[in-house]
Amino acid sequence: MKNVDFYYRTSFLSETVKDAHVSPDVLGDMLRNIGTDRKSVTDFMKSFMRDERYLAVDLTHVLSMSESVISATLGHNSMEEYLPQVQLLFLFSLEHDAPVYFRILPGSINSVMSLKITMEETGSKNIVLVADTGFYSLKNVQALDAMKIFFIIPLRRNSRLIDYSMKGEKHFMFQDHPIFYSKYE
């Protein structure tokens, strides 16, 4: 942020937008004010979600040992470790191929609860969750079903849920490897 004022003054933007106040102090105050007004931020992001039929979810855990990141709290990850982490949750418009919402959550909140909080805050109903193998558990699947969230979760190869007798029935190639799939009702 310390260079924004310099770039503004030496660019054509200073000719089209006169007298912009972009000093580090002004920008810092502005970002601080935005960060403390969650409702305005949410309303702004929700304006991009109008008329969206489906939203894709990306929920990522970021490990942080920094003592200054207050939302980095002990959380469970797919490696069965409890480490300080922050959750980043993004909603993407499947119709516009663009991100429309983000949220930063403490690492101690479980992933399904993060989705529930997000659905309540945004009023989203038609969500498709694409998860990794570490997300699968019977408890998570039951919670997703209860919240009426569509999901795609790959199973570990040793999962008892996989019926290998159906192998070859449906598949597609990904990076020169066949990916077999089935739909269960």
- Assigned token pair, 58: 């990306």
Q: How far apart are CA 40 and CA 35, in angstroms?
A: 9
Does the pLDDT value for residue 117 go beyond 90? no
Does the pLDDT value for residue 137 go beyond 80? yes
Q: Which helix (H) or strand (E) holds 60?
A: strand 55-63
| Coil, helix or strand at residue 84 | strand
What's residue 113's pLDDT? Answer: 84
Does the pLDDT value for residue 142 go beyond 90? yes
Write out pLDDT tens, residues 31-71: 888 878 888 888 888 887 776 677 787 888 888 887 777 77
71-96: average pLDDT: 81
Strands 82-93 and 98-106: what pairing? antiparallel
Q: How far apart are CA 100 and CA 91, in angstroms?
A: 6
How large a percentage of the chain has pLDDT more than 90? 5
Tally of residues, the chain = 185
Integer CA distances (angstroms), 91 to 111, 162, 182, in order: 14, 29, 26
Does the pLDDT value for residue 184 go beyond 70? no
Q: How far apart are CA 163 and CA 3, in angstroms?
A: 58
Query: Domains in the chain, ordered, with CATH?
Result: 1-36 (no CATH), 50-160 (3.90.350.10)
